[in-house]
Amino acid sequence: MNTRRTWDLFCTVIDNHGDLGVCWRLARQLAQAGQSVRLWVDDASALGWMAPDGLRNSLPGIQVLPWADASEPDLLATLPTADIWIEAFGCTLPEAFVAHATATRKQQPAWINLEYLSAESWVPRMHGLPSPVMSGPAKGWTKHFFYPGFTQDTGGLLREVGLMERQQAFTASGQRAAWRAQHAPDLAPSALLISLFCYEPAALPQLLTQLAGTPHHLLVTPGRPLAAVQQALSQVPVPPSWSALPYTNQNDFDEMLWASDLNFVRGEDSLVRALWAGQPFIWHIYPQDDNAHHAKLEAFLDWLEAPVSLRQFHRVWNGVEDTAVPLLDTGTLTEWRECLLAARQRLRQQEGLCNQLIIHSATTSATP
């Protein structure tokens, strides 16, 4: 299972950089496991702040390539044949890339459709199922669905080797205290440090109003969160204590989650990182026009075994309910933290997504 193999990982950046964030974490973990990865991406610009080593192609085992180059037969002819293809989040591989492979290789690679993360009950039933290719140059070949998830009968979550130890060292060495002092120098010992990474939640003015007049400090991440806060402040009579953060790389984002007492996160990648951080958090799920995200949110809260106050805050934050958000008092956050630590302990019993992918790809029969 530990044989070094070559992976072609395909990613299209739809919006918000979340897909690229997940793919970069996966590429990095595969490389750490001794694999060779080519990351084909249509817009790698966000790696400039998310993972500068990736943009410079200076990380051993990972090569970042432009999506357009996957349609260049002359270039493809110079590359080693890949053992595994991953199309992340439903992206469609370039037809010229697939046609080149069918014309030049004797058997197909392990072809994996890496899906979005969900706690819904149908995920275990779909995980690992084959999907025959019915048309195009790869007609007769087979893909397999691979679903990340929160239970043993799914593909698990991305978790790099040594993550828990790195977090423990961050606290034990005094780095956590230093991080807090640097980013909120006037924070009182009993005050909360809160990070905000969100879309545009309707309840944001509620949060800002609740924090106003308290010693708590809000750290606002750049882009849509900062714009949302700036707009919401016009609806708040007294602004809370807050400051804006710059764009940061993935390791520094983890440190923000570890250093904060409460984290507001959004999308898929930061949800997983918040789970591993073990601190109380509120998840802003990616909104969908048909409100399909409401069922996805409820499934996650059921898996989480979320207490009533945590469920209510999530529902209001995500627009499922139009009521008041619960107060962020000591008792509430203590209950949330206990819930999150129990959930993290359950997750630590699972095999990580990267290792599961390596095992799955090695055991998937190639079709001649």
Pick the range with the lowest mean pLDDT from 126-140, 186-200, 282-296: 282-296
Q: How confident is the model at residue 16 (pLDDT cuts 50, 70, 90)?
A: low
Q: How confident is the model at residue 245 (pLDDT cuts 50, 70, 90)?
A: very high
Q: Domains of the chain: which residue ranges?
A: 6-147, 163-347
- Is it the case that residue 368 has pLDDT exceeding 60? no
Per-residue pLDDT at 147: 98
pLDDT tens column, 150-169: 999 999 999 999 999 999 99
In CATH, what number does 6-147 get?
Answer: 3.40.50
Whether 165 is catalytic is no
Task: For residue 279, give the nearest of 171, 173, 155 by alpha carbon.
Answer: 171
Domains 6-147 and 163-347 equal at CATH topology level? yes
Task: For residue 8, give the nearest of 44, 28, 36 by alpha carbon.
Answer: 36
Q: Is 337 helix (H, G, I), strand (E, B) or coil?
A: helix
- Selecting among 19, 87, 115, 269, the annotated active-site residue is 19
In CATH, what number does 163-347 get?
Answer: 3.40.50.2000
- Is it the case that residue 13 has pLDDT exceeding 80? yes
- Please classify residue 109 by burial: count the beta carbons closer than 10 Å to its beta carbon, then call 0-12 exposed, 13-18 middle and 19+ buried: buried
- Selecting among 83, 87, 255, 268, the annotated active-site residue is 268
Task: For residue 38, give the nearest of 12, 16, 57, 56 by alpha carbon.
Answer: 57
Whether 19 is catalytic is yes
Complete edge-to-edge strand list for the sheet that includes strand 241-244: 241-244, 217-220, 193-196, 262-266, 281-284
Dihedral angle computed from the Cα positions of residues 266, 269, 275 and 281, in that order, rounded to the nearest 10 degrees = -10
**DSSP element (H, E) containing 144:** strand 142-146
Radius of gyration over every alpha carbon of the chain, rounded to an integer in angstroms: 22
Average pLDDT score, the chain: 95
User: What's the whole-model pTM score?
Assistant: 0.95
Average pLDDT, integer, range 87-93: 94
Per-residue pLDDT at 78: 96
